[in-house]
Amino acid sequence: MRHNPAGLFTRKTVAVSIVFGAIAMALLYIPIVGLALLSFSTQPLSGIPWPLTLEWYASLFEGNNAKWIGPLGTSVAIGLIVSTAATSVALLIGRALPVIERRGGILAAYLSVLVMPGILVGIAVLIFYRGLLGIRTGFWSVVLVHFIWALPFALLCILLVAVRFDRRLLEAAKDLGASRYRQFVDVELPLMLPGISASAFFSFLLSFNELPRTLYARGGVTTLPYYIWTASSAHSSQVSLIYALSAVIMLASFLVTLLAMRLLMRAE
């Protein structure tokens, strides 16, 4: 019998990769699952998910406990603006980059924001707009820092589709008499729609859950992540409700992420 060391090594490598991957996933999801379980506990602060109750979910919309609705509306409004702006700009850039020579430097400049600390971006916006230009921070400064954060991700979603787009289809449409607008609407847009949709979902989700950059740019604006952060660090009766609210947000974020990933896989 002939031995196959290369095949054996490959199987071992795969097994080790699966084990470490499983450990990483466990470290990520165990706290999330734990928080979700504690949201059903009568005493979530005790860390024991028993006995079970729906009290905290039922109380989310009662009187003083419903203060999160205002920040929720603010986060949704900012997220929609950021999603629209980031996707639109990413679409313009993403359509042009594949045909530009020496595009590596340009792409690196756009993606460099990914490695910049969020607090650094927030402080930079605070110093530049408020300190140097005298512009008050508030709703639009939050939109700006969220846009800066979401744009690289939106661009990656668009590029995933744009680099595979066959530009000969546009030339064929042109030969058939289609205007540049009709070429985009009838040929380019339908083929790039999965990337555009994924870009919009990811941009909204990144803005909706953003906190570090918001801390320095928010002025008097209260977003939902900021509200949850302050409520969870305060010693008040609303701390227990944060478990239920966080569980709802996690579920919604997971569903949006799942939808965006399905759209990207459709693009593949």
41 forms bridges with which residues in the sheet? 52
Position 261 scores a pLDDT of 75
Residue 12 lies in a domain: no
User: Tens digits of per-residue pLDDT, 195-235?
Assistant: 888 899 889 989 998 988 898 888 889 999 998 888 777 65
User: Tens digits of per-residue pLDDT, 85-137?
Assistant: 999 999 988 888 777 777 677 777 777 777 777 777 778 877 877 767 777 88
Distance CA 216, CA 128 (A): 12
Residue 4 lies in a domain: no
Distance CA 225, CA 74 (A): 11
For residues 33-51, give the mean pLDDT.
Answer: 75
User: Tens digits of per-residue pLDDT, 74-85?
Assistant: 999 999 999 999
Q: How many structural domains is the chain composed of?
A: 1
Position 74 scores a pLDDT of 94
Residue 178 lies in a domain: yes
Q: What percent of the chain has pLDDT over 90?
A: 13
Residue 247: domain span: 66-267
How far from the centroid of its chain's Cα atoms is residue 192's Cα?
20
Q: What is the CATH number of the domain that holds 139?
A: 1.10.3720.10
Position 79 scores a pLDDT of 94
Position 77 scores a pLDDT of 96
Which has more confidence, 17 or 153? Answer: 153
Q: DSSP for 196-242, please give it.
A: HHHHHHHHHHHHHT--HHHHHH-TT---HHHHHHHHHHS-STTHHHH
pTM: 0.79
